[in-house]
Chain A
């Protein structure tokens, strides 16, 4: 069974641009969550979606947004990119019907903002 798939794996953007990252969860999983990893802040939760509804959101500015489609695939968008947005963005999936399930991560998208 395929794992969590994230695209693109690597990208370079310029300050002020926007970026969209995509995530396909494990087949049958309906919960998708996103995390940002930076050397200074570690791994931080961005948001979580289940059945196209956002159930929780981390403490990030409104420039960070996400959505989930009816096939459970998810996208996250960062607008007006700043140098500090350079990070590894990780997507995770779980069955998600109830809390406390095992959560599986994708390989991540490495974003560099110049």
Chain B
């Protein structure tokens, strides 16, 4: 089945710094989403981005489907950005998401 790899596994930043999170996937996909998991466990949708580039405030994402990777950019990080970021893909119109293992981000004040 399709494999999803995220890097780095852990990231520590000072408030105000920028960061790039990467997601590699092993096959073509018809859905790719980025999520932020809050301390209470809920997965918050950040982007639906099977291809192309999107921006939402300080966050932006780019997916290059032909090269099978996606990037999540966080600019001017804030302590509230801390948490785990997941990339998840759907392949073969399977109606199921395959998740990467996540990037744990800690933003220090």
Footprint of B on A, CB under 8 Å? Answer: 31, 33, 35, 37, 42-45, 48, 50, 55-56, 58, 88, 90, 92, 96, 98-108, 110
B61-86 with Cβ < 8 A to chain A: 86
Q: How far is the CA of A47 from the CA of B50 in the complex (A)?
A: 22
Q: How far is the CA of A96 from the CA of B94 in the complex (A)?
A: 11
Which residues of chain A come closer than 8 Å to B33, judged between CB atoms? 102-103
Is the beta-carbon distance between A31 and B95 smaller than 8 angstroms?
A: yes
In the complex with contacts A105-B42, A105-B43, A100-B99 CB distance below 8 A: no
Is the beta-carbon distance between A99 and B42 smaller than 8 angstroms?
A: no
> How many of chain B's residues touch chain A, expressed as a range?
20 to 34
Q: How far is the CA of A88 from the CA of B88 in the complex (A)?
A: 17
- Could you pull out 10 A-B pairs where Cβ atoms are within 8 angstroms? A35-B97, A42-B102, A45-B96, A45-B98, A56-B96, A100-B90, A100-B93, A102-B33, A104-B45, A107-B40
Please name the 10 residue pairs, one residue from A and one from B, whose CB atoms are nearest each other, closest first: A99-B93, A43-B99, A100-B30, A105-B43, A45-B96, A102-B48, A108-B41, A107-B42, A48-B95, A100-B31
In the complex with contacts A42-B101, A102-B48, A108-B42 CB distance below 8 A: yes
Chain A contact residues: over half helix, strand or loop, or mixed?
Answer: strand
Q: Which residue in chain A gives the minimum CB-CB distance to B102?
A: A42
Is the beta-carbon distance between A106 and B42 smaller than 8 angstroms?
A: yes
In the complex with contacts A31-B95, A42-B102, A55-B95, A100-B42 CB distance below 8 A: no
Q: How far is the CA of A31 from the CA of B94 in the complex (A)?
A: 12
CB distance from B89 to the nearest CB of A (A): 10
CB distance from A1 to the nearest CB of B (A): 14
CB distance from A48 to the nearest CB of B (A): 5
Which residues of chain A come closer than 8 Å to B86, judged between CB atoms? 43
Q: How far is the CA of A90 from the CA of B43 in the complex (A)?
A: 9
Q: Which residue in chain B gives the minimum CB-CB distance to A50?
A: B95
Q: How far is the CA of A35 from the CA of B43 in the complex (A)?
A: 11
Which residues of chain A come closer than 8 Å to B35, judged between CB atoms? 105
In the complex with contacts A88-B41, A106-B42, A99-B99 CB distance below 8 A: no
